[in-house]
Amino acid sequence: MKDAIVTSEAGLVLDEVGHAYDGRMVVEEVSLAVAPGELVCLLGPSGCGKTTTLRIAAGLEYPLAGSVRLDGRVVADGRTNIPPESRGVGFLFQDFALFPHLDVSGNVAFGIEGLPAAARAHRVAAMLELVGMAAYARSWPHMLSGGQQQRVALARALAPSPKLMLLDEPFSGLDSRLRDQVRDETLHVLKSTGVSTMMVTHDPEEAMFMADRIALMRDGRVVQMGPPAELYCRPADAFVAAFFGEVNRIPGLVEAGALASPFGPIPAPGLADGAPAEILIRPEALHLVPLAGNETAPCQAQVIAARMLGRTSLIHLRVERAEGALHLHSRMPGRFLPSEGEILELRLDRALAFCFPTTHPN
């Protein structure tokens, strides 16, 4: 899949990259670019090829096909393979990999030992100030919390002023509360430096939080790439739609270019009449309102259960129709807890309803 959005030679460019292990292709024809100051997330399920793609960008794996360019310079292709240490790349991995025998300053200074002592000390101080760890310069890694270790690892990676930062599941080892805080801090630090950044994650919410653009991968290929809102609101297929969260599925056959639903026909562009297809509806697209005397509302739903989940409430619904009852989920903002058995009007935000050919799980 070609990345038509970024064409500048500045930053990172992967062009038709492919790789295999033991004869099995794990990355196929991956083309994407990361502009200076941009953060691109490689997102996808386990085994989809995202970490291998990151390792190819780093120089830790050699592409069997295609090329890798960094700031216009070919760093890997059929004839060239520049090692990671000569590419100007910074790394931040899940385990942080701090050196236990060096204090915080020593860890940050490790990659810039070629600088004069005064310049090195100044750079270390500046990086620790940037990540909010200046007060811990003489602390040892074992004395730090997970979040503090992550900040030190980020400072160490940024100290040599890399052209490209590569992050591989950097927050997955942190508990959920700390993860939110640390990834927010990391995003602001990376944006303040203007470095090109590629990050791997399997968490769609994290990708949407961090990324300027997301490359969603499946079976070694990029199936859709674009800003988070584009993938969420205009998914290319059912896999993309479902990967970003729960969806309600209403199966049917295409008739007159549409699928029947309790809300009326939903357009099914590009699908032939008679083809099996399904409507995918995000739970937040289903809005519940009291009947308020409007017992003739076009779509009514019975509440099966209602649970508050913090910022939203999840409502389990039963919708009767001639083909058989539907079990649907609605997410309503805040505290919305109708009584079990209550009948409510159900309305659809059609912008979050998508028609795709029927798919079967692998």
Buried b / exposed e along 247-266 (16+ C-beta atoms within 10 A): bbbbebebeeebbbbbbeeb
Query: 208-258 pLDDT, tens per residue?
Result: 999 999 999 999 999 999 999 999 999 999 999 999 989 999 999 999 999
Q: How many residues does the chain have?
A: 362
Domains and CATH numbers, the chain: 12-239 (3.40.50.300), 248-357 (no CATH)
State if pTM tops 0.85: yes
Return the SS3 of 193.
helix
DSSP state of 141: G
Decide: helix, strand or coil at residue 183.
Answer: helix
User: How large is the angle between the packed helices 117-130 and 146-158, nearest 10 degrees?
Assistant: 130
pLDDT exceeds 60 at position 2: no
Model confidence pLDDT, tens digit, residues 85-110: 899 999 988 777 899 999 999 999 99
Q: How far apart are CA 40 and CA 213, in angstroms?
A: 5
Q: Is the pLDDT of residue 5 over 50?
A: no
- How many other CB atoms are there within 10 angstroms of residue 80's CB atom? 12
- Do 35 and 6 form a contact (C-beta atoms < 8 A)? yes
pLDDT of residue 294: 64
Query: What is the bridge-based pairing of β-strands 39-43 and 196-201?
Result: parallel
Percent of the chain with pLDDT over 70: 95
Unique residue bearing structure tokens 């970003």: 244
pLDDT of residue 293: 67
Residue 6: pLDDT band (50, 70, 90) is very low
pLDDT tens, residue by residue, 129-160:
999 999 999 999 999 998 899 999 999 999 99
Count CB neighbours of 142 within 10 A.
8
Strands (E), the chain: 12-21, 24-34, 39-43, 65-70, 73-76, 89-93, 164-168, 196-201, 213-218, 221-226, 248-253, 258-259, 266-267, 276-281, 286-290, 300-308, 312-319, 326-333, 343-348, 353-357
> What number is the average pLDDT over the span 161-186?
89
**What is the spatial distance between Cα 198 and Cα 36, in angstroms, rounded to a whole number?**
11
